Structure 1
Amino acid sequence: MLAVVSENHKLYLRNTPKAKIAAPNDILVKVDYAAQNPIDVILNDNKMLKDGKISGNDFAGTVVAIGSSVRDRTLVGKRIASFADGHNNDYPSGSFADYAIAKDGIYTVLPDSVSSVEAATIPLAYVTAVHGLYTSARLDLEGKPAQTILVWGGNSSVGRYALQLAKLNGHHVLTTANGGNNEELIKLGADKVYNYRDTDVVDKIKADYGPIKYIFDAIGTASSASACAKSAADPSHYTTVRPDAAHTKEFPSYITVSTIIVYQVFFTDTEEAVVGDKYLTDAYTWLKSKKLVCNVPKLVGGLDKIEEGYQLHRKYQIKGVKLVYRVGEVGRL
């Protein structure tokens, strides 16, 4: 099969052995589309991929084979969206390839109304949002009555799913963006959108709602972390997409800081795995009823365009869309 492979910390399009069922919970998928995530670029640029590692996380495609312990024995032939354990050099596949391995419990079946190009935007960002909102080590909002939540960076890939997931469970959702698509973010679930570029954005949030108890930082930069801390109540909970909790060292002690490490969903029987499975299962019904909508895909081309997409990330030129690649439309990297 063709795949984008790391060699000496550079990416090349190579013929590789076809992915195959190797574990009882494996699901073999013929990939139609694969989506780019910031972590894909970070892993490559920080030289964290070993030689031979297939790059990429998110994918959507058709199931062609399943392992012996996969619970849905009718899965072959269905379209699913899933993601690979992209930071694990021992994981058997990546998404930038003709075939990829999904794991049982880490996929969502796709209704006919959702295209594979749209669905490729779901998995990693969606599960990141789920973990941030609904696991006990983060905001711990599962089963809680309606709360006011601030999602900093509502137009990011994770932020857009966080808005929808919070609203689906009845919460009051505030968010920040650059002011260019407020109406769209309100349709996704935001009750109010603030322009993060306003120098008095924190004052405006607190004037309207007071200090905020639950804060989801979907950006994880120094400026977003600082603004979130200034918006926080005493006591409050802050969770960030930065797995190293960067920029939180000087936070007041009344802010409980947590990080989201989405790959914990691969640790069988953990809360992250159980909650991820639940919400990925629920996603089918929500997608079918249009209560959940996919992020906006931007088709870059085939797998030969990976470096072009990575450059757009490095230059901070990806705004409000998710870059997607059509697998099978290939050339040379």
Structure 2
Amino acid sequence: MSPEFIKEALRNVRYPGFSRDIVSFGLVKEVRHENGSLYVQLEVATKDPKIPEQIFKDCHAALDHLPDVGSVKVEITVKDPQGAQGASSEALQGKSSIPGVKRIIAVASGKGGVGKSTVAANLAVALAKSGAKVGLCDCDLYGPSVAQLFGSHERPMANERDEIIPIEAYGLKLMSMGFLLEDRSPVIVRGPMATRYTQQFLRQVEWGELDYLVLDLPPGTGDIQLTIVQTVAVDGAVIVTTPQEMALIDARKAVSMFAKVNVPILGLIENMAWFECDHGQRYYLFGEGGGVREAAILNVPLLAQIPIDPQTRERGDAGTPVALIPAAEHPVSAAFQEVAAAMRAKLPVG
């Protein structure tokens, strides 16, 4: 029985809480079949004891009934993700840094329509305005927004090493599927191809020297999110939600996903928190204070409450993010400058 045959059987074992299997997740370190005995060595970086227990049971369920197998021995080495520093800790989780990039921040949401891409774009702009060297990678392959948000229709070129040269706008380096497609062209790819594109955006783009690379993740907790966290060492995630319970339910799922893969939550942003009329009256169209309460329940910082603001929408449509306005002249821009300051305090670059 070949190692490839054994690994194919192990592809039926999912990492708990995800659709991806333990083979593609990089947990299988060794497989052997000798004299009817099957030996499998796994390595897991987690603080949750239930994860290796479930994987152990599922491995036996997948292997015990294989032909010509007398006994099955599954050994799982559990590593503390906080127990080592630098490259060794990252290696235990199958991740590594992007050359030249000091910090990676993921901006995520549990569901679509909460303004995650607008938040990611304006956070990147605010970080750049603070003096940092910043890149923004649009990892939402099916609904890319960065090209529109920055008003660019350029097509990326390649360098002599066949790396994609990112588009530059307002002092940021940008990469998005939107730069590669016509406006009305859909992205129709299955999971493996989406994984390949995502890895190319992270690994085969000439990002150069960056203090921060902001990742605009697609909504949900699917293959692309898992590909990202197992491909590169994400320093932390910002969760975007709107105040209503329907959005908060999915935000909790996003928080849980990052906890399972040992990515710290940097904080929560409540978007579309209210609408303020010209006479100063606030209307809480999606409920009041849902993000405040959720941040307290999750024990994570509430980084900002962003109101529904016509100028923010108009500038997004025009390709000039609202964070480009001086903070003293616009409250939403000021809020994003505060979030950027919090990110720099949490994730200093020296």
Task: Give the TM-score normalised by structure 2.
Answer: 0.23
Task: Give the TM-score normalised by structure 1.
Answer: 0.24
* Higher alpha-carbon Rg: 2
More helix per residue: 2
